């Protein structure tokens, strides 16, 4: 007899009350339900074989954490917004029970999201990032970083550092550093030099299937994955950034599109006069609907 399929809920301690209705809905739809609180990694390992969906409840940071846990296991994820920005989350908390019902009925699509991975000394498992890998100078010192893409020199930068971002992460640190927002359906990686001392040092978009090696030619840097510091490098040290596992993100017909997210969250493309005169709504032409279904 096969094990009962389950839905997992990744949330912060103290948030159990807000998911009671969603848990009841999951059970009514024939799923077992489990929550990951104090030790999410252990909970994921325990329930990996039966989990049909992981629901992350929080802000973008919670979604990123859940994505890194779920992607290697092939478990789809849906993000529920309880944070401030919530750029990565498709569902608001009051719509979660309905989202569970729609998932159970098969009324959804999935969108693939690529992750990046790096290997660090002393670790058997690669470090994963769904947003970006950052190689950055310590304090305010300028370092020289060489960036090679599939063993082909892209450039050597006297800079504060380099951001190597997925399409998903292009609207995070990479965007703040001057990189372009990239629709996550595009299979691309963005390389963004940070405050480079050069006449031309624009961000570059490359295919996501390529390896990127960042080598420290001068200076001392830290390496961070999705904001988590994972290594320190000095002269001659390097980090190899490779394509990682893919994540399936569950989306519904009324999930916000990438374009609408840019308008709503970042006020992209909204004339300054309109910002001053009226609040932003999402009734502009083409605002409704998802990102075009599975990608």
User: What CATH number did the domain enclosing 72 receive?
Assistant: 3.40.50.10330
Q: How sure is the predictor about 122, in pLDDT bands with cuts at 50, 70 and 90?
A: low
pLDDT of residue 223: 97
**CB burial of residue 38 (10 Å; 0-12, 13-18, 19+):** exposed
Locate tokens 């570059």: which residue? Answer: 204
The encoded tokens of residue 25 equal 């809905």
Ranking 54-68, 190-204, 208-222, 266-280 by mean pLDDT, the lowest is 266-280
Helix axis angle, 20-28 relative to 96-104, nearest 10°?
20
Whether 62 is covered by a domain: the verdict is yes
**Residues acting as catalytic residues:** 60
- Averaged over 233-250, what is the pLDDT? 96
Q: How sure is the predictor about 276, in pLDDT bands with cuts at 50, 70 and 90?
A: low
**CB burial of residue 13 (10 Å; 0-12, 13-18, 19+):** exposed
Q: How sure is the predictor about 140, in pLDDT bands with cuts at 50, 70 and 90?
A: confident
Residues 100 and 122 in one domain: no
Residues 72 and 133 in one domain: no
Q: 154 and 204 in contact (C-beta within 8 Å)?
A: yes
Whether 59 is covered by a domain: the verdict is yes
Which residue, 151, 136, 138, is CA-closest to 193?
136
Residues 134 and 237 in one domain: yes
The encoded tokens of residue 130 equal 């769904």
The encoded tokens of residue 253 equal 């017909």
* Count of structural domains, the chain: 2
HSE-CB at 25 with a 13 A cutoff on CA atoms is: 19
Backbone angles phi, psi at 170, to 5 degrees: -65, -20
| Alpha-carbon dihedral angle through residues 259, 263, 267, 273, given to the nearest 10 degrees | 120
Of all residues in the chain, the percent with pLDDT exceeding 70 is 89
Whether 284 is covered by a domain: the verdict is no
Q: How sure is the predictor about 38, in pLDDT bands with cuts at 50, 70 and 90?
A: confident
Residues 153 and 214 in one domain: yes
pLDDT of residue 277: 63
Residues 151 and 221 in one domain: yes
Residues 12 and 54 in one domain: yes
Domain extent for 239:
118-246
- Averaged over 177-200, what is the pLDDT? 94
Whether 90 is covered by a domain: the verdict is yes
Residues 166 and 84 in one domain: no
Residues 56 and 136 in one domain: no
Query: What is the distance between the alpha carbons of residues 165 and 170, in angstroms, rounded to a whole number?
Result: 6
């Amino acid at each position: 007899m096969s094990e009962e399929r389950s839905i997992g809920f990744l949330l912060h301690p103290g948030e159990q009350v807000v998911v009671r209705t969603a848990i009841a809905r999951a059970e009514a739809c024939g799923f077992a339900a489990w929550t990951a609180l104090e030790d999410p990694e252990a909970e994921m390992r325990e329930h990996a074989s039966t989990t049909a969906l992981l629901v992350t409840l929080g802000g973008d940071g919670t979604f990123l954490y859940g994505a890194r846990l779920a992607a290697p296991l092939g478990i789809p994820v849906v993000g529920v917004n309880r944070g401030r920005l919530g750029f990565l989350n498709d569902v608001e908390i009051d719509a979660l029970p309905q989202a569970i019902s729609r998932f159970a009925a098969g009324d959804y699509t999935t969108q693939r999201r690529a992750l990046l991975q790096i290997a660090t000394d002393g670790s058997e498992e690669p470090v994963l990032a769904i947003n970006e890998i950052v190689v950055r100078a310590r304090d305010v010192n300028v370092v020289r970083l060489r960036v090679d893409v599939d063993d082909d020199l892209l450039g050597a930068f006297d800079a504060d550092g380099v951001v190597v971002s997925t399409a998903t992460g292009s609207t995070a640190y990479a965007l703040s550093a001057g990189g372009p927002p990239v629709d996550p359906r595009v299979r691309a990686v963005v390389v963004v030099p940070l405050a480079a001392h050069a006449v031309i040092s624009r961000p570059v978009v490359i295919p996501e299937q390529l390896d990127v090696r960042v080598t420290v030619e001068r200076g001392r840097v830290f390496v961070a994955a999705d904001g988590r510091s994972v290594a320190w490098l000095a002269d001659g040290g390097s980090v190899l950034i490779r394509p990682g596992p893919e994540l399936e993100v569950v989306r519904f017909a009324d999930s916000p599109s990438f374009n609408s997210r840019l308008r709503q969250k970042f006020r992209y493309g909204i004339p300054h006069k309109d910002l001053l005169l009226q609040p932003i709504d999402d009734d502009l032409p083409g605002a409704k609907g998802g990102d075009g279904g599975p990608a």
